[in-house]
Amino acid sequence: MSHNILILLLGLFLAGLSATGHLAFGATDGQLVFGNGDSSSWSDFFTASLDHGRVYIVSLFVAHLSIWALSSVAEKLNLVDRPDNNRKVHTVAKPLVGGLGIVAGVLVTMVMFFPVDKYLSLIISILMVLIMGAIDDRFDISFKIRLVVQVTATVITMNYFPGMHLLSFGNLFGLGEVYTGMLVIPVTVFCALGVMNAINMIDGLDGLAGTTSLIAFTTFAVLAWINDMGSFMLLSLAFAGALAAFLRFNWYPSRLFMGDAGSMTLGFVLAFFSIELSQKPDGIISPVAVLIVLAVPVTDTVTVMTKRILSGKSPFSPDKTHFHHILRDMGFNHAGVVIIIMSIATLFSLFAIAATVLHIPDYILFGLFASWFVFYFVSSTTRKGLFSGIEWLQRHHVIACTEVLPAGK
């Protein structure tokens, strides 16, 4: 019941915020002004909220129905994740159809409420990544094939969305803007690939990738509202609705997973949002601010891949050195690990919003992100620092949502 209430409150918050932005952005005949005794302003607000709420509700409903229907035929499609008694933590086979359902919810919503011709290249790219991910879930294809499809999808979107070019990293060092110049295309592709694989790699526990992505999309919705980008606000609303539906099936103990089809597609769209929001001409969203929103998956992925390379392994070789693996080794239960990581991601997201509103300089934000990266890298290597702090909070019952598992489990 509490989960349903949270889903409802999230939808009401995003729809209300989107409606306020819709009016303030000039999409209607006038701006919304509260507190002046004008009942028509409130009437316009509630009308717009209901109108925008349809995006969230339709996406949630279609995603829920799609996931339910696909889960019943997952065995026939052989879209099932079976335990391997090694890296995977689940002990029974589970359908890999969550990602297909999430995208179904979003695409149906886009067809119903968005100008499809404007977003056609994005839709094509999403379908390319989704299909490639589904094939990978089914046949476990080579990372080289995945890489080619991911690069192609990114280039297609870049060709039709002028904002999908990472022209500047912002004033990272206080010495002026750091521009990508002639390297704009390879740098954009590299960063997009980084986010895609970061979300894919963090998908290791029930609810982890789903909640991390939901927090990111909710934050990007707020940042789009601040940045006067109403259409991206509504698109965030659609993804939030679809993810809320998915988490009903994926929260521990899960009934199914999103699979590579879901994690890679979500990563692609989050990369798209990150670049579009931060590269808008005359926009106020810093590239470092969107990086901070994704700080947890990006930092964890870069740390893990760096340690693999330093040990002479492939950066894509599977192991149990991710953030969630370390917390599990420390004795935290499944749901507790997700809530700890989710809480950290939420703090980063709130900080990114506050930093944007307060106009904190890029070099300060980048310094804080770099400090976090070093702190996390050292902590994950020594199992001290951050993890000692988390363990201390658990011992003193500050983290009440976690339990220590009995020895041997």
pLDDT digits over 234-291, tens only?
A: 899 899 999 999 999 998 888 999 999 999 999 999 999 999 999 998 899 999 999 9
Q: pLDDT at residue 9 above 50?
A: yes
Token duo for residue 285:
């969203």
> CA-to-CA distance for 359 and 379, rounded, in angstroms?
30
pTM above 0.85, yes or no: yes
Each as own residue / partner, the long-range contacts of residues 282-287 (CB below 8 Å, 24 or more positions apart, any chain) are 283/227, 283/228, 283/229, 284/226, 284/227, 284/356, 284/359, 285/223, 285/226, 285/227, 285/356, 286/170, 286/355, 286/356, 286/362, 286/365, 287/166, 287/168, 287/169, 287/170, 287/362
pLDDT in tens, 302-321: 999 999 998 888 888 878 88
Domain membership flag for residue 163: yes
Q: In the prediction, which pLDDT does 121 show? A: 93
For 161-258, where are the alpha helices, taking DSSP H only? Answer: 184-202, 208-226, 230-250
What is the dihedral sign for C-alpha 186, 191, 196, 198?
positive
Partners of residue 404 on adjacent β-strands? 332
Across 125-153, average pLDDT: 94
pLDDT in tens, 379-395: 999 888 998 888 888 77
Q: If we measure between CA atoms, which residue out of 314, 315, 311, 287 comes closest to residue 301?
A: 315
Please compute Rg for the chain using Cα positions: 21
What is the extent of the structural domain holding 275? 2-395
Domain membership flag for residue 39: yes
Q: pLDDT at residue 208 above 90?
A: yes
% of residues, the chain, pLDDT over 70: 82
**Mean pLDDT for the chain?**
86
Question: What domain count does the chain have?
Answer: 1
Domain membership flag for residue 406: no
Q: In the prediction, which pLDDT does 23 show? A: 43
pLDDT in tens, 318-337: 788 899 999 988 888 888 89
Domain membership flag for residue 402: no
Domain membership flag for residue 288: yes
Q: In the prediction, which pLDDT does 128 show? A: 97
Q: pLDDT at residue 90 above 80?
A: no
Q: In the prediction, which pLDDT does 173 show? A: 94
Q: In the prediction, which pLDDT does 163 show? A: 83
Q: Which range has the worst mean pLDDT, 154-163, 189-198, 363-372?
A: 154-163
Q: In the prediction, which pLDDT does 269 show? A: 97
Across 182-188, average pLDDT: 96
Across 149-163, average pLDDT: 92
Q: pLDDT at residue 24 above 50?
A: no
Residue with tokens 């976090």: 372
Count of other CB atoms within 10 angstroms of residue 366 = 22
Q: In the prediction, which pLDDT does 326 show? A: 92
Domain membership flag for residue 404: no
Q: pLDDT at residue 179 above 50?
A: yes
> CA-to-CA distance for 260 and 136, rounded, in angstroms?
7
Q: Residue 80, SS3?
A: strand
Q: What is the dihedral of CA 354, 360, 363, 365, to 10 degrees?
A: -10
Q: In the prediction, which pLDDT does 348 show? A: 97
Q: In the prediction, which pLDDT does 350 show? A: 95
Q: If we measure between CA atoms, which residue out of 360, 370, 244, 236 comes closest to residue 298?
A: 370
